[in-house]
Amino acid sequence: MRLILILTLLSLNYTVAQNSYSTKSNWLIDTNSSEEKFKKIEKQLRGFDLAMVEVGYRFNSFYFAIKDKNYPLANYQWDKIKKAMENGVQRRPKRESSSKAMFLDTQYKSMKIALDKKDDKLIAKEYQQTKQVCNACHVAERVPFIDVIDPQYRWQPIK
Ligand code: HEC
């Protein structure tokens, strides 16, 4: 019974594919002009939102790295957070002034100093400040409903 259903669905799918739309995945190669191709790539690379998804992911790992006193991992994630934000700014230049004022030219650097010193007290202070900075920027950039909190669980299979 289940096999018949699957076969029916497959043949239906085949008929639809034959008749009305392409199931090919060469969406970029099949685009004619270079300009259209670049437009499609730009769209796929997205804007500041995906940069922030990466920042959020790395912030989780960063948080547990400082808890574990794994300074090389904390440093690694902190630098990648910066890189993600810089790339995000390139894609969405209207986020540049806040990114620089609140993070890239300021909080990024002061946390970096604390990490390089491996000074746990200073790192803890800078961490609290980082959360405030993340949220201040969310207010400034009109997404106050995105509230950065202490990560509750490890998302990564790394430590
Ligand atoms: C330039 C100011 C700015 C700074 C600094 C900033 N954010 Fe954001 N964040 C934004 C904006 C704007 C959005 C909404 C994204 C969009 O729609 O473009 C956002 C969205 C997010 C999201 C939601 C992403 C999603 O779509 O699911 C997370 C997670 C996030 N930020 C985490 C952080 C963390 C953690 C920090 C601090 C380390 C931080 N942000 C610092 C501006 C900022």
Q: Residue 105: inside a domain, yes or no?
A: yes
pLDDT for res 19: 58
Residue 63 Cβ contacting ligand 1 at under 6 Å: no
At 33 the pLDDT is 96
pLDDT tens by residue, 2-56: 666 555 555 555 555 555 777 889 999 999 999 999 999 999 999 999 999 999 9
pLDDT, tens digit, for every residue of 88-112?
999 999 999 999 999 999 999 999 9
> In this predicted model, what pLDDT tens digit does every residue of 78-94 receive, in sequence order?
999 999 999 999 999 99
Q: Are 74 and 115 in contact (CB under 8 A)?
A: yes
- Tell me how crowded residue 52 is: count the other CB atoms within 10 A of its CB: 21
Ligand 1 centroid, distance to 23 Cα (angstroms) = 35
**pLDDT band, residue 66 (cuts 50/70/90):** very high
What's the structural domain count of the chain?
1
How far apart (Å, rounded) are the C-alpha atoms in residues 12 and 35?
36
Residue 67 has pLDDT above 80, yes or no: yes
**Amino acid 22: pLDDT:** 73
**With a 6 A CB cut-off, is 82 part of the ligand 1 pocket?**
no
pLDDT of residue 96: 98
Residue-wise DSSP of 83-151:
HHHHHHHHH-GGGHHHHIIIIITTHHHHHHHHHHHT-HHHHHHHHHHHHHHHHHHHHHTT-TT------
CA quadruple 136, 142, 144, 145: dihedral sign: negative
If you search the block for the tokens 């630098």, which residue do you land on? 79
Ligand 1: does its nearest atom lie under 6 Å from the Cβ of 66? Answer: no
pLDDT of residue 21: 76
Range of the domain at 64: 48-140
Residue 156 lies in a domain: no
Q: Is the pLDDT of residue 113 over 90?
A: yes
Determine whether the shortest distance from the Cβ of 107 to ligand 1 is under 6 A: no
- The SS3 call for residue 51 is helix
3 domain-assigned? no
What is the pTM for the complete model shown? 0.89
- For the segment 124-149, what is each residue's pLDDT rounded down to a tens digit? 999 999 999 999 999 999 999 999 99
Q: Tokens 């100093």 belong to which residue? A: 113
Q: Is residue 154 part of a domain?
A: no
In a domain, 122, yes or no: yes
Q: CA Rg, the chain, in Å?
A: 22
CATH code for position 66: 1.20.120.290
Residue 97: inside a domain, yes or no? yes
